[in-house]
Amino acid sequence: MHGFFLPHVSHTHGLQKHSADARAFSFIKILNLMQNMSHPPQMLFVENVVGFEVSDTHDQLLEVLSSLNFNLQEFILSPLQFGVPYSRPRYFCLAKREPMGFQNASFNKKLLWTPMCVSQTMNSTSQDSDLRTEEELDPVCKPVKDFLVKEDDGGIRNETILQDYIVPLNLIERWGNAMDIVYPESKRCCCFTKSYYRYVKGTGSLLATSENFKCVPEEKLAVSSLKELGLRFFTPREVANFHSFPSSFCFPDHISLRQQYAMLGNSLSVAVVGPLLRYLFAEA
């Protein structure tokens, strides 16, 4: 049975420190250990934020994989390319140690921005979106409303939404112009980070629940209008839905609301990772 090794790489690019960032030390340690293993892993799956592909840590990864005779293929993919209205582009590296190889060996040592070479493992919706830009993917994606939790399906009650998830007016007044606002009919929302729910700027989209407003770009809305949109945070279950987690997924009772958002913000998109893993395990 082939070994399988999955390091979830720390975010090393944001501060431009690359391998000097302390968050990269554990990953570099693993790379060093791999070179001294009598039985190194036969397959490798790496995920990181976009920008890792131009870091010196990435250069070290490629150098080690080459020295250990790995065939590799690299991707930058988003759930938008898989029919999910969620913009979360991430870097992925898939590697197989020789004599194993990929079904589409012509893509070895290339950075791909589409799921083209793994499309045989996906449904027709994903295949149709292989070569489209993010803007062109909007019509392909399902609407945001398909990912919302409904009360009649055993979801959160309306009074709970008002109490726990409505965006306070003081935050709207202060950060209204910086908020990313989506509607139930929208075909895209921004990436949810681990700071979602704690902050409203740059941490993920907010949902407009008022039925009195049509979809209007937030830059054209005055703060007074924003207050009437009924803005709320997406619930943890809804964020999990955007990550394509199964309906059976739930957090233990002792995990706080903020901890749930933090864990989801650091998680993976099943819609993206699933097809990649099937492609990785497929025999050439």
Whole-prediction pTM value? 0.85
Mean pLDDT, rounded, for 223-251: 92
Band of pLDDT at residue 118, cut at 50, 70 and 90:
confident
Domain containing 229: what range? Answer: 144-265
Structure tokens of 31? 């790379």
Looking at the structure, do residues 161 and 275 belong to the same domain, yes or no?
no
| 223 and 129 share one domain | no
Give the model confidence (pLDDT) of 42-66 as tens digits.
999 999 999 999 999 999 999 999 9
State the CATH number of the domain containing residue 95: 3.40.50.150
Segments in the chain forming alpha helices (H) = 25-34, 56-67, 124-128, 134-137, 158-160, 169-175, 223-226, 236-242, 257-265, 270-281
Instruction: Please check the confidence at residue 270 and state whether its pLDDT lies above 80.
Output: yes
- Count of domains in the chain? 2
Does one domain contain both 214 and 249?
yes
pLDDT at 165 over 50: yes
Are 132 and 11 found together in one domain? yes
Are 133 and 197 found together in one domain? no
**Based on the domain organization, do 71 and 148 belong to the same domain?**
no
Strand partners for 4: 43
Question: Is 170 found in the same domain as 77?
Answer: no
In a shared domain, residues 77 and 195:
no
Please tell me whether residues 132 and 252 are part of one structural domain. no
Q: What is the residue-wise DSSP string for 177-194?
A: GG--EE-TT-S-BPPP-T
* Span 78-89, pLDDT tens digits: 999 999 999 999
